[in-house]
Structure 1
């Protein structure tokens, strides 16, 4: 049996959230499994173990919560997600419905409209040569196209961002970041829940398709609004931060931007490489269903396992020159969208949005560069930007 390394570093401290790379490097070097004394969890930073645990839903359940809170002992702050916070068999029917709703056939119908909408947005933004890429592009485009596809009204869509911010903060400890959102989360949750009802949704969007699945008996009427709620999370937050990641990557790697301009078909590869490189979703938890061994270390039943997706995505055991953003790389296999049964159901939506936006930019912009002081947005789960000022030179 291996000796279990122990780290006293708090991965949710402001210092680590500002720059998690040094901590993640230390975590990988310490061993395949490390006990984090700050939150009494078993941490994984190497690709092999993170990948294996993500795929092993039998031994490492999601139903006890994918955050630090253990739903076996603590009441969740909202009804648990039927996808993210459930395991088979309860997970299966909602997942099947949502996979069909967001499948290739449905997204092909949206492609032309989304690419055209990206062209219009880029034209608006490029009227100025300097702008904040977070508010003007990374947030604006998903909030512009995806809620339309779901079928929710236009008014109030800005509530999706603070709701998602609190949702991902709540996966961590009850620190100041969680406290920051607690006061307003009741009203935000009520607004989100209201958008998921049949009578609010349009009759031709993804939401209506989910309610039609309930009418057919594929899911229950009680499950339908929760599946719509999952749809809103799957299609907004990770996409916003993924778009921010790829824009930052290109602003700091001008040679790779020229590579994309020469071959716009690389847009999806670029997005996945940025998700690997930046890992907008940095971590997720699982709970051991029994005493389970990981790389020679026994994780006791009921204990939380904290998988650092960002660390795994830069593990030199898996990736050559992992700290480099490189469009010549095949990034498939990264764990930025999870892996296995609970892999992000909205990842294809994110890829389509990224392809639309990058293609529109590549047509018009010869060079992207940082124009001022960029500022990180701290979140217990997400690697995010609050502000990313860019300057562009048109082609």
Structure 2
């Protein structure tokens, strides 16, 4: 195995040493100012000029890979592009594990996320989404995440896990803390004050839920996880709790943001609402293109196990790499008119739900929620309007996801 000397590595310029075009600040590891909240212009420039971008961070340099073919290579070679970035894995999250440890956790989740478990919440999704959309459109709009997308994902994920819906309000604070703690200890993010202490409250709560669901012989996802711990001995108690936390956060945060991002598409491509109204069966195509075009998961962190050459740049073994999934999904070399939203596009091969051994097992649930929400919105809503600069807050500071944090919109109801 070849090695790269310190002198050779230093010949690759840092992001802050490059001449970025006017209007684009140098790319950073953590977006603390919000300048990377809408990153697609950055991605386009990186793909064309620096498809492997070296970025300074006090802990370690990070290499950002932006082209589709290179991202695909990284996602398909997990023995080289390893998901376990830290020397010690802080949580039993599938996205942080490799090899046998990853497959053990993944098998438990796969066995739990069977169609039967998802079908159990289909009626709940329809019922909750119908009421939310009816009220939202009737009053002429409002704040999208708090009034539409978050309540639906909360109701759905509580149903899939077997968590009482009356308790889900507590999860707003808990999930924010867990996400911040996770990002701090495993993704070089700054975290939040008290994040670990607050996260432990969620861990304790879910431990009690697992005990109850086991006694009830629940067929929910958490019930399956409890049996993998208590009956099969596949998981420890802590692993079972952490896996439930992962399922909740992964199912809640990303789907909430995905559905909120759709309003950006409705504003820029108003014809999509009429299309979905006239042909509700096209909701599936809308979701797949949305996940490609504005999927919430933008980066897949990896640590490489050996020297890797990408686009003429050799990245030394042990380096931290971030595969830019959202950039790959806009790569003009792979997608024709990649920066345009096209419901008729064949979006197969996008990385919005991961790829390879780390493909998202919860994708069917996310698709169910999103298709239901968009079908009902198009049924009742004729148009949407907002000022992106005044009415939207886009996520900043996160090391993994992007998209709408909050968005106030005005909507016009369809005539009966």
**What is the TM-score when the length of structure 1 is the normalising length?**
0.88
Shift of 1:342: 1.2
2:171 alignment partner, one of 145, 151, 157: 157
The match for 1:317 is 333
**Whole-angstrom CA distance in 1 between matches of 2:295 and 2:341:** 12
1:375 aligns with 2:387: no
Quick one: structure 1 residues 218 and 348, their matched pair in 2 at CA, closer, same or farther if it must change by over 3 Å?
farther
Give CA deviations for 1:245-293 in whole Å, capped at 9, x if unaligned.
Answer: 1232113311111111111122222122122112311112101112233
SS in 2 for 1:84: helix
Do the aligned partners of 1:196 and 1:228 also contact (CA within 8 Å) in 2?
no
The match for 2:15 is 7
Quick one: structure 1 residues 214 and 341, their matched pair in 2 at CA, closer, same or farther if it must change by over 3 Å?
same
1:26 alignment partner, one of 21, 45, 49: 45
1:49 alignment partner, one of 56, 70, 75: 70
Do the aligned partners of 1:292 and 1:298 also contact (CA within 8 Å) in 2?
yes
**Whole-angstrom CA distance in 2 between matches of 1:191 and 1:183:** 13
Shift of 1:87: 0.8
More deviation, 233-242/120-129: 120-129
Number of equivalences: 381
The match for 1:62 is 83
1:239 aligns with 2:255: yes
**Whole-angstrom CA distance in 2 between matches of 1:174 and 1:237:** 17
The match for 2:19 is none
Unaligned runs of 5+ in 2: 17-25
Shift of 1:330: 1.9
Shift of 1:206: 1.6
Do the aligned partners of 2:300 and 2:324 also contact (CA within 8 Å) in 1?
yes
2:188 alignment partner, one of 163, 170, 173: 173
Larger Rg belongs to: 2
Quick one: structure 1 residues 105 and 200, their matched pair in 2 at CA, closer, same or farther if it must change by over 3 Å?
closer
The match for 1:111 is 122
Counterparts in 2 of 1:1-395, with a 5 A limit? Answer: 4=12, 6-8=14-16, 9-11=26-28, 12-13=30-31, 14-38=33-57, 40-64=61-85, 71-72=86-87, 79-153=90-164, 154-155=166-167, 156-163=170-177, 165-167=179-181, 169-170=183-184, 172-175=187-190, 178=191, 181-197=192-208, 198-199=210-211, 201=213, 203=216, 204=218, 205-217=220-232, 219-222=234-237, 223-370=239-386, 373-378=391-396, 379-395=398-414
Quick one: structure 1 residues 242 and 189, their matched pair in 2 at CA, closer, same or farther if it must change by over 3 Å?
farther
Do the aligned partners of 1:5 and 1:31 also contact (CA within 8 Å) in 2?
no
Quick one: structure 1 residues 274 and 164, their matched pair in 2 at CA, closer, same or farther if it must change by over 3 Å?
farther
More deviation, 151-160/315-324: 151-160
**Whole-angstrom CA distance in 1 between matches of 2:319 and 2:246:** 26
**Whole-angstrom CA distance in 2 between matches of 1:168 and 1:138:** 23
Quick one: structure 1 residues 172 and 306, their matched pair in 2 at CA, closer, same or farther if it must change by over 3 Å?
same
Shift of 1:143: 1.0
Give CA deviations for 1:113-138 in whole Å, capped at 9, x if unaligned.
Answer: 32122112222323311211111112
